[in-house]
Amino acid sequence: MTDTATITTADRVSIIPIAGALGAELSGFDLSSELTDAEVQTIRQALLDHGVIFFHGQDFDTGAHKRLARRFGDIFNHPFLISDDPDVVTIVREPGDTRIVGEDWHSDTAMVAEPPMGAILIALEVPDYGGDTLFANQYLAYDALSDGMKDLLANLKALNSDRLVAGPGAAELSDSRSTKSRTGPDWRETVNAHPVVRTHPETGRKCLYVNHSYTVGFEGMTEDESKPLLNWLLEWGHRPEFTCRFRWRKGSVAFWDNRCTKHIAVDDVHDTRRVMRRIQIAGDRPY
């Protein structure tokens, strides 16, 4: 990520980092409008530089949300979160829910062959405080490893499955929250092997690519054999110095690069409704 304190791309546009590890707030954009090619390029470069970018004071409907997402790629349809519109996932937390979507550190939908490159999430209803989201820079997580660990991981592949968050084994999880997963007889497990260390297709940088919600072991090993190293890597990937924390307001937008970051939703407000709308953007096979 860039270490520049403030970048001004035009008199009305500013990009202000929010933490040393990753994350920046952008101002001077109306995401409900038809963005110019120059604006799209500025946003894309900020995403590459900072891993996750944030906007405040935005207001756009589902149609405009889809139009915005398509400026950065094809829309990715989520395979197991239940939604009336396959292009969109509305993430709802109602008072009384005991579980939430995204409650573990994760990279989105990592079990598919070509995981999404990113997601754009807008806050529609939020509590006055709490319900923050944390993000972790997986470039830094890789860079900070010892040379010996980098050598060990160089050719290792991780098995990623959706059985922890969907299907019969996740029925209790789904029943405990307002946003539901597919858990019935029509669900089939999806498993794919991805490099533990992936190369970002646009920046060329290496980053760690394992996560709590989907990674279940290493290719060629049993899950029990995988656990000691995998558990260490999972915890290492979100050390405080690799992270930033974002406080939501109504109309706030987060756009994260799913290829080089992980994130987690903080479940610390239990008596207030929270509604977010998310669209994911298609990616490519990790290499």
Between β-strands 52-55 and 24-27, what pairing exists: parallel, antiparallel or unpaired? parallel
User: Is 188 among the residues known to form the active site?
Assistant: no
What's the pLDDT at 12?
85
Active-site residue 212, yes or no? no
What's the pLDDT at 2?
57
Instruction: Give the mean model confidence (pLDDT) for residues 13-18.
Output: 97
Active site residue 106: yes
Number of helices (H), then strands (E), in the chain: 6, 17
| Residue spans of beta strands (DSSP E) within the chain | 7-10, 13-17, 24-27, 52-55, 75-76, 89-93, 118-125, 133-137, 157-161, 191-195, 197-199, 206-208, 215-218, 243-246, 253-257, 261-265, 274-281
Which residue ranges form the domains of the chain, and what is each CATH number? 7-281 (3.60.130.10)
Of 106, 177, 182, 212, which residue is the catalytic one?
106
The DSSP output letter for 250 is T
Task: Check pLDDT > 70 for residue 236.
Answer: yes
**274 within 8 A of 124, measured Cβ to Cβ:** no
pLDDT tens digits along 170-209: 999 999 999 999 999 989 999 999 999 999 999 999 999 9
Among 66, 65, 89, 67, which Cα is nearest to 77's? 89
The token duo for 241 is 């110095």
> How much is the average pLDDT of 217-232?
98
Q: pTM value?
A: 0.95
Tens-place pLDDT, residues 101-147: 999 999 999 999 999 999 999 999 999 999 999 999 999 999 999 99
Dihedral of CA atoms 104, 114, 180, 159 in degrees, nearest 10, equals: -50
Task: Considering the candidates 182, 263, 274, 277, report the single residue annotated as catalytic.
Answer: 263
pLDDT band at 8 (very low <50, low <70, confident <90, very high): very low
Active-site position among 49, 50, 65, 108: 108
Q: Residue 3's pLDDT is what? A: 52
Question: What residue has token string 């939604």?
Answer: 83
